[in-house]
Amino acid sequence: MKYRGQMRTAMLNDRFIKPTEYARWADARRRFEHRQRDRDLVAQLRQSIPRDGLREPIILGVSDRHPDVYVADGHHRAVALMGLGVPTFPFHWYWIRSFGVRMEADPFPFHLLDR
């Protein structure tokens, strides 16, 4: 069974939990604001999350070469959460290793965020 945890939304920032597809979270927000499809998706999430919660957990990847934590899947959900002030979000996670990745059943290594 996959580990399912709760993470403080405040950890979604350029220091602790970074975006994988963008250099910084500001770049992701800017990209989503300029593309109609992305803007619509974030707007839908901002409406549904307060009412229904986050239905699909954000997927976090943890690099074994660097102790970095990244959003591997869920950038739109993360941007919507950041704008809502929701205190926590559900997540699954996996190690990013040279020999492959797999979703973890073990607890998340929260000590990696103590920087």
Q: What is the mean pLDDT of the chain?
A: 93
Q: Which residue has the higher pLDDT, 7 or 101?
A: 7
Q: Which range of residues forms the domain containing residue 10?
A: 5-113
Question: What pTM was computed for the model?
Answer: 0.92
Domain count, the chain: 1
At residue 12, the 3 state secondary structure works out as: coil
What would the pLDDT profile of 35-87 be if each residue is shown by its tens digit? Answer: 999 999 999 999 999 999 999 999 999 987 777 899 999 999 999 999 898 99
Task: Indicate which CATH number applies to the domain containing 85.
Answer: 3.90.1530
pLDDT band at 115 (very low <50, low <70, confident <90, very high): low
d(CA 53, CA 35): 25
